[in-house]
Structure 1
């Protein structure tokens, strides 16, 4: 199966990881090895970008920007429309490659490609709506308005857990805005990036898009550091850990560049005494175990009203007993592997810290071994009863560990929800309108995403995606997130025969 998919995207066993969109360069950096967490097998090796490769790509992108920005936005949108059609044709193959290289379930792999298709559709419409405002001038015979111009190069640093979707959120919007893009994919999932590059390059070649609009520079941490410190790159969009985001943000800020940061989450669902417990169960379980707990929006904490705590945790324990763990390419499987054995080690370490800090397990965790688990990356989703203030609970572990705790009043629950360093996604399960509105009020959730009667995991393309506090403050995808990829310019036109000054100032000569 995997050999046929690699052939579909013209990926060889040893492949360059550097492309200018229309040309693959002989890469001479380190060698990256892509191994599947599904079975532990090496899929291919990738030759990463050297500093020489990187500088050549940036120079090509700079040159391309001068031409690409002059294409009418609807014409750029037409190119993105064709990318969406190409993704539709390749959805099955790309979705399977995502699942096999990253380890998420096959349905989630298909879903990730669908997100790419959806953002293409959104970006096509956006290409005809890059609008500014008009304002009345205080000076007679003057007109004021604002307009938006592209920034230049958008550098995109993506994470392994959504190896293609988040890149598309950034690139499709950046392209219709008139920017060019350089993508550094996660070193853990380079093949999906190469597959996307192959899809895009065919569309770009057919439309005579200039070389350098869509660039790929696979590599390790050093490539991201080059991007963060490069004054030729006005915007760096980075998705990953808070630690990584702080490093990128400080480097970009030091040169007064712009950064768009999508970092960690420590997401909670409040289960009210007025909740529909059956519906709540679905949101909680999928949120906690989907992608094996490796989503930035994964549900990490359940804050449960004391009156329904016992009943709801009993439902949880029963549901966890029905989870099927195994090969994610089997559509009957709920939970696939973690990305690698380092992730397994972090999971096991967190379990030990829970015990050391006083937590108890309602569902025990552990590493799975034996037939079907030879890669060493499979673990048991577990549930721990804890206190919100435990150090380990304040920390984001990218694994299927779910913390449960009790609350008495809604104000207490909201305070617990907010009392973590991260601020990405949040939810309340309640049929009480007053509780729902309080949760969404200015005194409610402090997260960038706040939901009622749906879980924390997942997001729709139409809304801006992102969070506050140590989540970084960035916004991607829908709403007016496109403004992050452009610069605002205020224009005043004097069509009178005089030059009056603002605020009535007189300067007579």
Structure 2
């Protein structure tokens, strides 16, 4: 059995164990959407894309289901999510295998992504019994002033290839307990993982007594996602992708007065101070910069190091980089899998050429590495830059870490903030004043001390500022994006006093 056949059969077997039809719900296996694995470039499936009529039918059914689902008590809605979490535990290995096959992640990272799904289900089940409003003092006697939260409507989820299941689950688990059906447009690069998740959620809904039509897949290219963007029946569009994509989505949703939750680009930086624990710093930096082959929105791309320790830290990093094993993610000991496509490699080469033209010095990496078949493998690159040039200010979705130096912490924080993106950030220091100053001044949605920029837990709200889009998903009070707020005044007296002492009549 050759590798191509093996990967196809592994994907098909994992789908079937999850209860999914390998051909997909939209058509037969000779469909127009060809699914390949970045491991060797081979075909592992074919699916037929949804037509505009099919997209409309999915949204219509979801909108109709909302009329029923919103009236189901939240704790009862939580039973469906609880059952989904149980099924995710049962099929954890199957889903992780699909993530590795479609996205190229090493099994440990793929399994961790599925664990995120399980974690958010647990969070959402607790949320189903704790969604709360508030009561405020009324200025009028015999009156009660309060805020209540209500289901919003159909939620459209547009997800990217690099986290093919976790980001969907962040939105879907919370949306369901908030009373909202979901229509999901996954990346056309990773539709098999979506088929598996859809099958498991449909089973969870069926076994928990939830109504039909609670979840729908829209398979295809960006034109399929446009149905979610432009349809007024979709109350919230949660979109993860590039800044370019966000610039298109946001005004189109705003034009119909819909809501947007955007998770866009990240150009994440970390400051390393003279007091930092360099052993810890190296471990954190290498994972944040090279994990997932640099294809995370939270990947560390800029390392801002105090001049007094820069040479030492770069030497340490270069030694570790030289030992990173790059290759087939299924092989034992491999830590860096493939890039998603040859286009990603072209973007990486272009960025490195620009950096060197700007005076940057390539310390190590950046080379094409042999791998199976037509897979695109590269060694993570470490580049010392004299200044933060335009190429450093841009996000390149590949494993490139630019190293800059600073003399004063205020200078370092200003340098850190001087990029258009604002997702994740960190500082490595043993000085509490430095840590607190950074936390107060980092302009990112995520700011960490003595850990890297990637690997967020589901308990905290995830998202960023500036060109990252301003959205918040996952934990904390992110649930508010999936509900609408109402201010209520109840008069339980026999009088009718007006607010602000107004007299009328």
Report what 1:418 is aligned to: 417
Indicate yes or no: 2:63 matched with 1:54. no
How many angstroms apart in 2 are the aligned matches of 1:128 and 1:161? 32
Q: Please state how far the C-alpha of 1:12 moved relative to its aligned partner.
A: 5.0
- The separation in 2 between residues aligned to 1:221 and 1:6, in whole angstroms, is 24
Contact residue 79 and residue 208 of structure 2 kept, 8 A: no
Q: How many Å separate the matches in 1 of 2:386 and 2:254?
A: 36
Distance in 1 of aligned mates of 2:19 and 2:175 = 26
Instruction: Report the TM-score when normalising by structure 1.
Output: 0.95
**Which residue of the partner structure matches residue 14 of structure 1?**
23
Are 1:502 and 2:499 counterparts? yes
Q: Structure 1 CA distance, aligned partners of 2:74 and 2:89?
A: 23
Task: Give the structure 2 partner of residue 23 of structure 1.
Answer: none
2:325 maps to 1:324 = yes
Give the one of 474, 477, 501 matched to 1:480. 477
Partner of 1:432: 431
1:367-395 CA-partner distances (Å, limit 9, x unpaired): 223xx332241111111111443111011
Contact 1:302 1:404 in 2 (8 A): yes
Secondary structure (helix, strand or coil) at the match of 2:187 reads: coil
Is 1:390 the counterpart of 2:389? The answer is: yes
Q: Is the 8 A contact 1:14 1:44 kept in 2?
A: yes
Partner of 1:405: 404
List aligned pairs for 1:439-450, cutoff 5 A. 439-441=438-440, 444-450=441-447
Picking from 2, 19, 22, the partner of 2:11 is 2
Question: Match of 1:134, SS?
Answer: strand
11 and 70 in structure 1: CA distance in 2 versus 1, 3 angstrom threshold:
closer
Q: Report the equivalent of 2:180.
A: 179
CA distance in 1, matches of 2:28, 2:155: 21
Which SS does the other structure have where 1:496 is aligned?
coil
Find the aligned partners of 1:339 and 1:502 in 2 and give their Cα distance. 60
Q: 344-353 or 162-171: which moved more?
A: 344-353
For residues 6 and 498 of structure 1, the distance between their equivalents in structure 2, rounded to whole angstroms, comes to 65
Does the 8 A contact of 2:265 with 2:395 survive in 1?
Answer: yes
8 Å CA contact retained: 2:30, 2:46 = no
Q: Give SS of 1:503's match.
A: helix
Deviation at 1:299, TM superposition (A): 0.3
Compared CA separation, residues 321 and 187, structure 1 to 2 (3 A): same
1:14 partner SS: coil
SS at match of 1:362: strand
> SS of the counterpart of 1:234?
strand
Secondary structure of 2:71's aligned partner: coil
**Does 2:453 align with 1:452?**
no
**Superposition deviation, residue 27 in structure 1:** 8.5
Per mean C-alpha deviation after superposition, the further-off stretch among 167-176 and 198-207 is 198-207
Of residues 290-299 and 328-337 in structure 1, the stretch that sits farther from structure 2 once superposed is 328-337
Q: Which moved more, 1:219-228 or 1:123-132?
A: 219-228
Shift, 1:366, TM fit: 2.0
Query: What secondary structure, in the 3-state scheme, does the structure 1 residue paired with 2:109 have?
Result: helix
Indicate the residue corresponding to 1:344 in structure 2: 345
**Rounded Cα–Cα distance in structure 2 between residues aligned with 1:35 and 1:289:** 23
Residue 262 of structure 1 contacts residue 467 of structure 1 at CA under 8 Å; is this kept in 2?
A: yes
Residue ranges of structure 1 left out of the alignment (5+ in a row): 18-25
Q: Distance in 1 between matches of 2:313 and 2:325?
A: 21
Measured against aligned partners, the alpha-carbon deviations of 1:424-475 in whole angstroms (never above 9, x if no partner) come to 000000001110011111xx10000000000001101110000000000000
The corresponding residue for 1:20 is none
Provide Cα deviations, 1:295-330, integer angstroms capped at 9, x if missing partner: 000000100000000100000000001100011122
Conservation of the 8 A alpha-carbon contact between 2:15 and 2:195: no
Q: Which residue of 1 aligns with 2:105?
A: 104
- Cα distance in 2, alignment partners of residues 148 and 3 from structure 1: 42
Counterpart contact for 2:29–2:46, Cα < 8 Å: no
Q: In the alignment, which residue of structure 2 is the partner of 1:335?
A: 336
* Change beyond 3 A, Cα 1:102–1:205: same
Is contact 2:158-2:186 (8 Å) kept?
Answer: yes
Does the Cα contact within 8 Å between 1:268 and 1:417 map onto a contact in 2? Answer: yes
Alignment of 1:304-383 (within 5 A): 304-369=305-370, 372-383=371-382
3-state SS of 2:372 partner = coil
Question: Matches of 2:325 and 2:365 in 1, distance apart?
Answer: 15
Q: CA deviation at 1:42?
A: 0.4
The aligned counterpart of 1:254 is: 255
- Contact (CA 8 Å) 2:175, 2:182: kept in 1 or not? yes
Aligned length: 496
Give distance in 2, aligned partners of 1:110 and 1:496: 58
Shift of 1:357: 2.0
- Kindly indicate whether the alpha-carbon contact (under 8 Å) linking 1:174 and 1:181 is maintained by their aligned counterparts in 2: yes
Q: Distance in 1 between matches of 2:158 and 2:412?
A: 35
SS state at 1:88 partner? helix
Structure 1 residue 28, shift from structure 2 partner: 12
Please report the TM-score for the alignment, with normalisation by the length of structure 2. 0.96
The residue number in structure 2 matching 1:77 is 78
Q: Tell me the secondary structure at the aligned position of residue 428 of structure 1.
A: strand
CA-based RMSD of the aligned residues comes to 1.5
| In the alignment, structure 1 residue 114 sits paired with structure 2 residue 115 | yes
> Are 1:469 and 2:466 an aligned pair?
yes
Taking the aligned partners of 1:120 and 1:451, their CA distance within structure 2 comes to 25
Structure 2 unmatched ranges of 5 or more: 1-9
Task: Please give the per-residue CA displacement for 1:108-160, whole angstroms capped at 9, x wherever unaligned.
Answer: 00000000000000000000111000011111111111100011100000000
